[in-house]
Amino acid sequence: TAGITQAPTSQILAAGRSMTLRCTQDMRHNAMYWYRQDLGLGLRLIHYSNTAGTTGKGEVPDGYSVSRANTDDFPLTLASAVPSQTSVYFCASSAGGDRQTNEQFFGPGTRLTVL
Amino acid sequence: GQNIDQPTEMTATEGAIVQINCTYQTSGFNGLFWYQQHAGEAPTFLSYNVLDGLEEKGRFSSFLSRSKGYSYLLLKELQMKDSASYLCAQLDSNYQLIWGAGTKLIIKP
């Protein structure tokens, strides 16, 4: 069972360039999330989607955009990367709805370096 | 915003017991999660508490006191493979997770 996959595993990106981080889940989960994780800080929510066709802003949405055209895919786009976006990015999903089903499952992460 | 507080780092000895504490703000509480994250890997689910008391799952147990805004993760019979970061996360009123910065647990032989 694949669960959640992310691509690429790592990337070095020049400042000012755009990039899309891909995330796909095969668990038919309604909710999906994008987090960034920086040393000494907790996971910070960038954007989320409670169901296909809807998205919402998290704690740190600036500089990022998402789309949720279908249940399985939730790509994260950086339109014009800046060095402060250097981080490890995790995609996660959950069944959503009531709290008993809100366990989140994480992808393996994408390590992004913006120079 | 809501704050989740947990120690930055703890050290324990193989075979011993360690308790990792977490405090959170009690407003808008819908549950408390613990996740384990090995270096360079993704977080994985350990436990979920929504009612007061202790939930035991093998060598790991998690405790919750809603009135005190307090939880702990108890790890027994520590093994070297338990060296990891342990993340506390509160499910808020919007059913979003608010994450602590994590506690790095170092196990010494």
Shortest CA gap A97–chain B (Å): 8
Residue B32: in which H helix or E strand, if any? Answer: strand B32-37
* pLDDT reading at B37 higher than 60: yes
* pLDDT reading at A36 higher than 50: yes
- DSSP class of residue B36 equals E
pLDDT digit string (tens) for B62-104?
A: 999 999 999 999 999 999 999 999 999 998 888 888 999 999 9
Banded model confidence at residue B2, pLDDT cuts 50, 70, 90: low
Cis (ω within 30 of 0) for the bond into A8?
Answer: yes
Shortest CA gap A80–chain B (Å): 26
β-strands A110-114, A19-25 pairing: unpaired
What does A28-82 look like in DSSP terms, one character per residue? Answer: --SEEEEEEE-TTS--EEEEEESSTT--EE-SS-TTEEE--SSSSB--EEESS--
- The tokens describing A97, both together, are 């709805």
Q: Give the residue on A whose Cα is nearest the Cα of B47.
A: A103
State whether A99 and B102 contact (CB < 8 Å): no
The beta-carbon neighbor of B99 closest among A43, A48, A102 is A43
Bridge-partner residues for A26, per DSSP? none
pLDDT digit string (tens) for A84-107?
A: 999 999 999 998 765 555 789 999
Q: How many H-runs (helices) and E-runs (strands) does chain A carry? A: 0, 11
pLDDT digit string (tens) for A12-34?
A: 999 999 999 999 999 999 999 99
Banded model confidence at residue B44, pLDDT cuts 50, 70, 90: very high
Q: Give the residue on A whose Cα is nearest the Cα of B43.
A: A106
Distance CA B24, CA A3 (A): 30
